[in-house]
Every structure is written in C-alpha cells, then in structure tokens.
Amino acid sequence: MPAYRLTTGKGPPVIFLPGYASDMEGAKALALEAWAKAAGRTFVRFDYAGCGQSEGLFEDQTLTGWRDDALAILDLFGEPAILIGSSMGGWIALMIARDHPEKVAALVGIAAAADFTDWGFSMEEKMKLLQDGRIERPSPYSDQPTVFTSRFWQSGEASRMTAAAIPIFCPVRLIHGLGDRDVPAERTMHLIQMIKSADIQATLIKDGDHRLSRDSDIALLIRTVESL
C-alpha cells in the first residue's frame, strides 16, 4: 500500500495523483489538502512506490505499477472519486477513468501528459533507453537529474491511449499553461478531441508554466474542483 495522508470530510473523495518523480509534498497537493480541511471535504494525497515516503526503489517502477498504486487508494472508498492528475498523474487518471468508470465521478487534468513516452522522448533517447536501460536528464526542479528507465518507458508505450477515441464519459476538466515547456498545450487540445465525454472543458493559462503552482494557478484549480 502506498504511503498516503487522508483528510476525512463530506462529498466525493478528492484524490491528487502526482507527476513523474514527484511526491505528495508538492505545492498543489498541500494546497488542496488545506482547502479540503477548511471546506470539510474528503481528500487524499499519496506517494507512488519508490517515491517520497512509499517503499520501493524508484528505478524498479513502471507506469502501470503506479496506476495500481492509485487504484489501491481508490479502494479505500466505497464511492466514486474526483481524480486530480498532474502531468503523468493526468495520464494515470485518464487510464483509470477509462478502465474503471465506476470508480471516477470526475477528472481534472493539470498539463495531462498522456502518452508522453511516445512524444516526450527523442529517437536518440529512445535508442539509449533500449541500449543502456536508463537515461538521465537535467531537472529544472532539482539539483539531481531525472532518471527514466527502459522498464518505465516500455510500460508507458504499452499503455498509450490517445491514438483513438477514449471511452471516458464523466465530467473532465483540463488545465494547461501556454508557457509549458514539458507538455505542449496541443496535447490537451488533442485530448479534448479524443475523449468521448460531452462534459469536457479546457482552461488555458497564457502565462502558465508546467507546474501551475502559483497562487493564482492553485486558486483556479480549487475553483475547478469546487465546480465539480
């Protein structure tokens, strides 16, 4: 079971799914927890295996393994939840909403990075992953490089979902910064076209970056969750 922090309250559970190599101590997760406590709402933040306070080695993990961590959190509840997925967490949230619709009341994607193992790596990087088993990239968010393994990459490639219509029918809200250098805003526009739900809206933030962790960005996120 992944490490998690539960705030108990009313309404459908709200669950925050972090991005790649992130954890439950990020600004968005903590701000959502503070909102939930003030509003009396049920909320969970958690760490994927190998991240933060959860057990395991980071380089042993896969996308589908982290999806299963999120499903374990969902199993804590007997009612559908609102999933908030940041970057890779958005991909995992979309996978769960497609495959387990009975568990998801609504979905919020923040720079949702569905299929990023496909479009997020150069051909040179893909070859190096296959040959060496791992690559490192400088991280703009940490002194340590970001590591990607062939294990994770192959799991992602086997889980691609945006080449055809996506049978998700719950309310979907997508938030994306036009200044995002990690996930192009065009990925959100593509998701709008592919997701079958009629109740889908996108909010584009002209000066927003990938993290969308400024006070104004978080206020928008909370308003979006409250609207659901």
Q: Would residue 180 show up in a list of annotated catalytic residues for this protein?
A: yes
Catalytic residue among 87, 115, 155, 217: 87
Residue 53: enclosing H or E segment and its boundaries? none
Contact residues for 6 (Cβ-Cβ < 8 A; gap 6+): 42, 43, 44, 76
- DSSP letters for 149-207: EHHHHHHHHTT---SS-B---S-EEEEEETT-SSS-THHHHHHHHHB--SSEEEEEETT
Catalytic residue among 47, 69, 115, 180: 180
Q: Is the distance from CB of 182 to CB of 89 less than 8 angstroms?
A: no
Catalytic residue among 47, 54, 210, 217: 210
Question: What's phi and psi for 115, nearest 5 deg?
Answer: 65, 25
Report how far residue 64's alpha carbon sits from residue 69's, in angstroms, rounded to the nearest whole number: 9
Which residues are identified as catalytic?
Answer: 87, 180, 210
